[in-house]
């Protein structure tokens, strides 16, 4: 009898210890351990005041390879558009906000201007190939003078062309009847840009020994010996190079675009008995200003963890039976980035489902100013004491009325002059973007709505520093 009582008492003690352990683990899962490698972020709203455990797994998504070589990194903020037609050829305009250059070139097909010998400029009268490409991101630190120890096949000199000062690096190489002459123009204003042109020809090797000077040098000095004529580069041969150089425009590089090119995607990912979740967010790796990067990265990682934790909190009631829900719960968040001048916009979109008729579309938007290293509120964009809310509200109501979504009262309420109605915004090249989630101004079936307010409307109300530059 005593043994039986002892066994019962022992079972009760063990059960109590297990229950206590389970309860403590559950409570521990609701607390974020202090991260000593990051500065603390103060929650901005009451919904952010509860600290949560980071999700079970954090993955890093490596940026996809985009081609090019180690001297020509592929910046994300590039555009290539048709510029004009000349002499029967299509000229394309290349613009790189991160590098601070715009240049046009003749090209009849999609070609990679940032790849070695990337653009075919056609052959010369002597059937020599001509190519053009850009080298970006590697500083030219050499003095712009010819090294006396170098051979005649390599020279460096200062020149001015079309109002831009360059260091012109000219070099020729030959072998196996092949001759390559490269002209590389490095702007004095930005020595991390290299504009390169190449002429590649085939010549009679028996003549090369008689032409003792580099063909580019011979051309400059007017040498017209019969032996050298095979190798001479004429003004006609290089005319297309000059036409390309005439289109060069240099402007201050966008720090936001540079940072965008260094973004790495982190993923918070996990699964449970009743749900799955995945939340992607950006961090910047390799950007020079560590304090600025820390401010950006901390906010992105903290808000992603908080968003996941808020979703998980619905399932945290140990007494609830979620097996009766009509479907398995899920959360899926992704993001996009849009640079504009010195601003980087981060736009999160996602879906969450935790029971009900359909998933909910969710948004988060951020506007980060690389001039000051801070996230901007909507108020920050506008001049003090201006009626910016009235302007945004009136324009949005009129635009939504024209779309024919929702009804008049719904739109007037959801787009009224109140900050909370315009919390999802971004500042882009074409103006101020406002996102209205489902149910704010229209039904779920009609989907989210977006209004773009042009800078022509904002001018006079928005701060001048946030207007687009002429070279943006």
pLDDT digits (tens, 9 = 90+) for 272-290: 888 899 999 999 988 877 8
Vertex 43, ends 41 and 46: CA angle to 5°?
175
Q: Where in the chain is the domain with CATH 3.30.565.40?
A: 55-61+255-466
Confidence at 459, pLDDT banded by 50, 70, 90: very high
Average pLDDT over residues 247-265: 89
pLDDT at residue 349 greater than cutoff 60: yes
Tokens describing residue 115: 């790849």
pLDDT at residue 266 greater than cutoff 60: yes
Confidence at 72, pLDDT banded by 50, 70, 90: very low
The tens digit of pLDDT for each residue in 79-136 reads 667 667 777 778 888 888 888 899 998 876 667 788 777 888 877 766 678 888 888 8
Q: H helices of 209-253, where? A: 215-221, 226-229, 235-245
Of residues 216, 238, 207, 224, the one with CA closest to residue 152? 216
Tokens describing residue 87: 């002499």
The tens digit of pLDDT for each residue in 289-335 reads 788 999 999 999 999 999 999 999 888 877 777 776 777 889 999 99
Q: What is the DSSP string of 80-143?
A: EEEEEEETTEEEEEEEETTTTEEEEEE-SS---TTSTT-EEEEE-TT--EEEEEEEES----S-
Confidence at 409, pLDDT banded by 50, 70, 90: very high
pLDDT at position 138, please? 81
Residue 368 CA, distance from chain mean position: 13
Q: Does 447 or 150 have the greater pLDDT score?
A: 447
Is CATH 3.30.565.10 correct for 55-61+255-466? no
Query: Which residue in the block uniquely carries the two structure tokens 């209004």?
Result: 451
The tens digit of pLDDT for each residue in 190-212 reads 998 999 998 887 655 544 444 54
Average pLDDT over the chain reads 77
Average pLDDT over residues 365-384: 96
Of residues 364, 368, 330, 338, the one with CA closest to residue 349? 364
Write down the pTM of the prediction: 0.65
Distance from C-alpha of 320 to C-alpha of 384, rounded to nearest angstrom: 50
Confidence at 53, pLDDT banded by 50, 70, 90: very low
Confidence at 16, pLDDT banded by 50, 70, 90: low
């Amino acid at each position: 009898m005593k043994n039986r009582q002892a066994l019962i008492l022992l079972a009760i003690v063990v059960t109590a210890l297990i229950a206590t352990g389970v309860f403590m683990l559950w409570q521990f899962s609701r607390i974020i351990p202090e991260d000593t490698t990051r500065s603390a972020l103060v929650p901005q709203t009451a919904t952010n005041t509860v600290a949560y455990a980071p999700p079970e797994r954090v993955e890093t998504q490596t940026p996809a390879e985009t081609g090019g070589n180690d001297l020509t990194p592929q910046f994300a903020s590039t555009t290539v558009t048709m510029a004009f037609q000349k002499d029967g050829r299509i000229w394309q305009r290349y613009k790189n906000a991160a590098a601070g250059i715009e240049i046009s070139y003749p090209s009849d097909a999609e070609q990679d201007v940032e790849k070695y010998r990337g653009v075919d400029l056609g052959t010369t009268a002597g059937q020599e190939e001509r190519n053009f490409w850009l080298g970006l991101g590697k500083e030219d630190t050499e003095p712009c003078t010819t090294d006396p120890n170098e051979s005649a096949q390599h020279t460096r000199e200062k020149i001015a062309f079309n109002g831009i000062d360059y260091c012109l690096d000219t070099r020729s190489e030959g072998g196996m009847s092949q001759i390559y002459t490269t002209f590389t123009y490095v702007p004095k204003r930005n020595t991390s840009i290299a504009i390169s042109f190449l002429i590649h020809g085939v010549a009679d090797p028996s003549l090369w020994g008689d032409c003792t000077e580099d063909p580019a040098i011979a051309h400059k000095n007017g040498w017209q010996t019969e032996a050298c004529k095979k190798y001479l580069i004429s003004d006609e041969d290089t005319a297309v190079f000059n036409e390309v150089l005439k289109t060069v425009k240099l402007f201050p590089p966008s720090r936001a675009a540079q940072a965008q090119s260094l973004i790495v995607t982190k993923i918070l990912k996990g699964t449970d008995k009743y749900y799955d979740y995945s939340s992607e967010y950006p961090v910047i790796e390799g950007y020079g200003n560590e304090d600025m990067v820390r401010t950006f990265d901390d906010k992105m990682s903290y808000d992603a963890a908080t968003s996941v934790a808020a979703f998980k909190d619905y399932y945290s009631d140990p007494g609830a039976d979620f097996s009766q829900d009509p479907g398995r719960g899920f959360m899926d968040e992704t993001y996009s980035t849009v640079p504009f001048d010195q601003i980087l916009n981060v736009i999160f979109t996602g879906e969450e489902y935790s029971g009900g008729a359909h998933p909910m579309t969710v948004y988060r938007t951020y506007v980060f100013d690389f001039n000051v290293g801070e996230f901007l509120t909507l108020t920050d964009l506008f001049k003090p004491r201006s009626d910016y809310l009235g302007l945004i509200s009136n324009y949005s109501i009129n635009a939504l009325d024209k779309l024919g979504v929702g009804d008049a009262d719904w739109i007037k309420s959801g787009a009224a002059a109140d900050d909370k109605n315009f919390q999802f915004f971004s500042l882009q090249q074409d103006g101020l973007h406002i996102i209205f989630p489902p149910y704010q101004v229209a039904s779920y079936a009609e989907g989210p709505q977006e209004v773009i307010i042009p800078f022509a409307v904002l001018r006079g109300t928005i701060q001048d520093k946030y207007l687009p530059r002429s070279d943006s």
